[in-house]
Structure 1
Amino acid sequence: MWLYSPLEIVSMTAAAIMLDWLIGDPKWPTHPVIWIGRWIRWMEHKLHPGKNGDVTSVAANPRWVKWKGVVLTISTVALSFGIVLLFVSTAHRIHPWLGYAVSTWLIATTVAIKGLKDAAYLVYRPLRTGNLADARKYTGYIVGRDTAHLPEAELTRAVVETVAENIVDAVVAPLIYALLGGSPLAMLYRASNTLDSMVGYRNDRYRHFGWASARWDDVMNWLPARLTGALLVLTALLTPGCSAGRAAAAIRRFAHLHPSPNSGIPESAVAGALGIELGGLNSYGGAASERARLGWPLRPRTQQDIVYAVRMLYGVSFIMMGGLLCVIFVLG
């Protein structure tokens, strides 16, 4: 970002990682993602023709509904970028150090390393005590599939898949965009990801309205997902109990089977590294859905795989922090 030198942007990004490690992602009313979500819901109410679950008007004119979804996508990412740029510029004019602090905090709000770990351990802890009821409840907080009757192995799969997929969304991608364009571009990415998580579904309500949001999120994640695959292989090389060779082989063998052009890469890498199989039969609202099976089932999944997945999550963040510190040392 033109307000700051490359060294300043790298330093603020490194500080944002540390801030997330220590504090995480408090659910403050002022959190930018909360406001982005409110904007999306407000715009959906104004633009989506299928109000109150009525999808007949959507089916009648899907092309027009798609264009309304394009308006939602463009307006959300443009406003997210513009407002943050204005906010940071104003803070910087008041005092450069205020600008640094605001930029660092805003970048940190786009990252969710600790939040992802906390969500995973919210399921892991009751699994350790055999409390499947709580484990199913908390798993339902982080996945869209039905969880009311899942056994331990399937609960573990749901959590490991979520952690693996979100290493792209919650760690690598926002940090890459922060390095490329400071907090405004990092927030533009977070807005893109929030759009996909709210309207990017392939169901009757959102298949057309959320089409632009889903495709834009695929574009934004294309390079970060592939970088994440390489980082996960390196993490597996440095993590006891993981296989870097299997992680790399699993990406080549299975990633393209996933319906997403990006999510299959981190999920395959983690499955291969741990020697387990991810994917399989899920249920959404009582309807069965078979997902691509990723990795080789060399052993049964256990609750400990949640711990291994979180270790890989943190391993990726440690490698990225190490790279940033090296750049700071060289440029400084």
Structure 2
Amino acid sequence: MFFFTSLVALLLDAACGYPQWLFARIGHPVTWIGRLIAWCETRWNLPRFSFGRRRVNGTACLIVVMAATAAACVAFEAVTRLVLPWPFSVLVIGAAASMLIAQRSLYEHVTAVAEALEDGGIDAGRKAVGMIVGRDTADLDEAAVSRAAIESLAENYSDGVVAPLFWLIVGGLPGAALYKAVNTADSMIGHKSERYHAFGWAAARLDDLINLPASRLAALLIIAAAGVRAGFDARGGMQAVVQGAGRHRSPNAGWPEAAMAGALDIRLAGPRSYGGAVVEDAWMGSGRSDLGAADIRRALSLFRTACVVQAASVALLGLVTSMLF
């Protein structure tokens, strides 16, 4: 059942995304989770608390958020299956799960960077890419803006598409929602700043762990997409992963970034600036570094193909599973 639910979720997200009118009325599951995290953080992460107490409180916050998320999703699934017969229950649960997958929104946000560079020049490109990355963007040239956009596309393909899909297949709607809860907590409090270093420790560590399978799978999907589309280099993607993924400062981001860099024959990652501080990182890939909007477009084309390969794989696995069991 989870395979078919996952396929419904993928197709609905690709076709519709999350409607803006719905977001304006009720928000989004991520914003609901974010409010709970913020409520806990303002009460349990006080400066007067010791480092150890804030770490314990941050772990408790994560447990509360995960428990609330799981309870809501288990109840929703149970009621849906009780009220609606198959396949209508699959459609409804799949529609709910589609809110946790970000194929369409990711494509639109990265496309906006390419359009900004093409239509408004470097200043518009910096502004657009600043909406999707955390690094300093004020001094980026066109190549750095393009590199940042492609890196965001690759990393968020893993975090925002493959990972929730993987946990949706493994654990149904609760599995995907729990992943999203941990990922949201990591994005909000999983930083090494003075305020969050202790409180966000559990969220950061657990997020690294649950993203391990998806980051490797995302790299394989990108390489597979490069193998079925002309103009991309699947072998180069594989070589870049083998040579560079393990050298990235993140245990997960290097995999899809290296695969994307090798498949496009470009270079990604490398040194970048956050809050005025330069962060040294290894380069992913050994190709061109002089990038532009056309390279963002090529990366988006490869991303679309990877999403098609992904959906086809889910459909095939669902069919095989239904025949066997």
**TM-score if structure 1 supplies the norm length?**
0.90
Tell me, in whole angstroms, the C-alpha distance in 1 between the residues paired with 2:56 and 2:300.
39
What secondary structure sits across from 1:142 in the alignment?
coil
- The residue that corresponds to 1:54 in the other structure is none
What secondary structure sits across from 1:110 in the alignment?
coil
- The residue that corresponds to 2:42 in the other structure is 45
- The residue that corresponds to 2:147 in the other structure is 157
- The residue that corresponds to 1:77 in the other structure is 66
Would you say the 8 A contact 1:112–1:170 is kept in 2?
A: yes
Match of 1:272 among 262, 273, 279: 262
Note the alpha carbon deviations across 1:289-332, whole angstroms, 9 max, x for none. Answer: 22222111345222122112222222222112112222344426
Tell me, in whole angstroms, the C-alpha distance in 2 between the residues paired with 1:263 and 1:238.
23
1:101 to 2:91 alignment: yes
1:68 partner amino acid: N
Tell me, in whole angstroms, the C-alpha distance in 1 between the residues paired with 2:138 and 2:180.
30
- The residue that corresponds to 1:112 in the other structure is 102
Give aligned-pair identity as a percent. Answer: 35
What secondary structure sits across from 1:129 in the alignment?
helix
- The residue that corresponds to 2:15 in the other structure is 22
Counterparts in 2 of 1:309-328, with a 5 A limit?
Answer: 309-328=299-318
Tell me, in whole angstroms, the C-alpha distance in 2 between the residues paired with 1:41 and 1:126.
33
Note the alpha carbon deviations across 1:215-270, whole angstroms, 9 max, x for none. Answer: 10111111111112222211111222221111111111111111211111001111
Would you say the 8 A contact 2:4–2:90 is kept in 1?
A: no
Tell me, in whole angstroms, the C-alpha distance in 2 between the residues paired with 1:165 and 1:114.
15
Count, aligned residues: 317
Tell me, in whole angstroms, the C-alpha distance in 1 between the residues paired with 2:189 and 2:268.
25
1:206 to 2:196 alignment: yes
2:144 partner amino acid: E
Match of 2:281 among 291, 314, 327: 291
Tell me, in whole angstroms, the C-alpha distance in 2 between the residues paired with 1:290 and 1:232.
25
Would you say the 8 A contact 1:172–1:224 is kept in 2?
A: yes
2:8 partner amino acid: A
Note the alpha carbon deviations across 1:11-60, whole angstroms, 9 max, x for none. Answer: 1211111101111133512421110111111111111113xxxxxx46xx
**TM-score if structure 2 supplies the norm length?**
0.92
Would you say the 8 A contact 2:6–2:165 is kept in 1?
A: yes
Tell me, in whole angstroms, the C-alpha distance in 2 between the residues paired with 1:194 and 1:44.
13
Q: Post-superposition shift, 1:213?
A: 0.4
- The residue that corresponds to 1:142 in the other structure is 132
Mean Cα deviation higher: 90-99 or 165-174: 90-99
2:3 partner amino acid: V
Match of 1:237 among 217, 227, 231: 227
**Structure 2: runs of 5+ lacking an equivalent:** none
1:126 partner amino acid: A
Would you say the 8 A contact 2:116–2:128 is kept in 1?
A: no
2:40 partner amino acid: M
1:49 partner amino acid: L
Q: Post-superposition shift, 1:130?
A: 4.2
**Structure 1: runs of 5+ lacking an equivalent:** 1-7, 51-56
Tell me, in whole angstroms, the C-alpha distance in 2 between the residues paired with 1:88 and 1:101.
11
What secondary structure sits across from 2:131 in the alignment?
helix
Would you say the 8 A contact 1:73–1:213 is kept in 2?
A: yes
What secondary structure sits across from 1:288 in the alignment?
strand
1:86 partner amino acid: A
1:90 partner amino acid: V
Would you say the 8 A contact 2:143–2:289 is kept in 1?
A: no
Mean Cα deviation higher: 67-76 or 157-166: 67-76
